[in-house]
Amino acid sequence: MGQRRMKSLIVLIVLLMVLIAASTYVITMHNSLFIQPQVTITVSTTTSLYQIGVLDTLLNDFNNFTHANVKFNVLAKGSGEALRLLADGSACFAFVHAPSLELQYLEQGKIERLAIFAYNEFIIVGPRTDPANVNEAQNAIEAFKRIYYAGERGLARFVSRGDLSGTNVRELQIWRLANLSPEGKSWYLKTSQGMAQTLIMADNIQAYTLTDIGSWLKLKNQGKIQNLVELEKDPSYLLNVYSFYISKSPACNNTNILNVAYKFKEYITSRGQDLIIEKYKGLLNPVRGNETMVLQSWEALTKLK
């Protein structure tokens, strides 16, 4: 009886292995059949660019303009996850806005910046009544201080992304600059969700939050925000810089992908710039003409630890 059991077990295992082998064979055949004819590139992007719609426009226009016929698979993630995927080689291109995180991966030699292509700004938004008087703050640091003390007195709440996205990273930098730690406070709420959800949550509970201006205007124009208003802009601490990176992982080190990467760099620094002005005025500014200014602020932003 024991031997028969052993036998059936062995048969089962062999059967399983054959099944797995057969399926992997079919899958690899399938892949080579369907994907090889065109170049497919996985692109990870911060959700803000995806939400504004600018990334789709740029990628499509790139294909039309250069006849490159590249298939871009777009993953919309927070900048933290987008950069991680890039460093892993799970994505070969990335569009992100988190300078201090970018620097970490740059220093490890896992990614390479091809272009800084656009910028806009972060703004502090909050309830119309503005219980923390953020309106009167001179700069972002002071605004955060006001929110902190109002929060401690139970007058205000702050909603944080809490997901290491570009916006979240900037928020944490400003808390550090203000020498305050909101971590664990009852008025400091972490959503771990995208910008839109975070804004809608802040709107629902009448709390303060930090947002990029693109996502804010997009939602505002769709009528999804009723209770919040713009309260604070700060060109020195709240500049938001979008960069285009490629992965240096071996998985992305192939001539097809690198060709597309350099072509796309060409494109995004020339024709792409016009397209950004033309279609996304107010939401996003092209860097052309301001390259040194933007690069300097990018460098300054990486140093805010």
Q: Which is nearer to another protein, 176 or 224 (CB)?
A: 224
Q: How far is the CB of 294 from another protein (least distance, A)?
A: 27
Q: Which is nearer to another protein, 137 or 199 (CB)?
A: 199
Q: How far is the CB of 258 from another protein (least distance, A)?
A: 16
Residue 153 to residues 131, 132, 156, 171, 178: CA-CA distances in angstroms? 11, 10, 8, 21, 18
CB 207 within 8 A of CB 127: yes
When binding is defined by CB under 8 A, the residue of 45, 46, 47, 160 that contacts another protein is 47
Q: Which helix H or strand E contains 207, and what residues bound it?
A: none
Please name the amino acid found at residue 112. Answer: E
Tell me which residues in 256-285 interact with another protein (CB under 8 A): none
When binding is defined by CB under 8 A, the residue of 128, 224, 281, 303 that contacts another protein is 224
Does position 29 interact with another protein (CB under 8 A)? The reply is no
When binding is defined by CB under 8 A, the residue of 22, 23, 29, 112 that contacts another protein is 23
Contacts of 200 (CB under 8 A, 6+ apart): 219, 224, 225
CB 208 within 8 A of CB 126: yes
Site map for another protein, 69-98, x if CB under 8 A? ----xxxx-----------xxx--------
Please name the amino acid found at residue 6. Answer: M
Q: How far is the CB of 190 from another protein (least distance, A)?
A: 15
Contacts of 304 (CB under 8 A, 6+ apart): 100, 173, 176, 177, 237
Q: Which is nearer to another protein, 42 or 209 (CB)?
A: 42
**Distance in angstroms (rounded) separating the CA atoms of residues 118 and 115:** 9
Does position 303 interact with another protein (CB under 8 A)? The reply is no
Does position 39 interact with another protein (CB under 8 A)? The reply is no
b/e string for 86-119 if b means 16 or more Cβ within 10 A?
Answer: bbebebbbbbbbbbbbbbebbeeebbebbbbbbb
Q: How far is the CB of 161 from another protein (least distance, A)?
A: 11
CB 111 within 8 A of CB 103: no
The footprint of another protein (CB under 8 A) covers: 5, 8-9, 12, 15-16, 19, 23-24, 27-28, 30-31, 42, 47, 50-51, 53, 56, 73-76, 88-90, 193-194, 196-197, 199-200, 219, 222, 224, 249-251
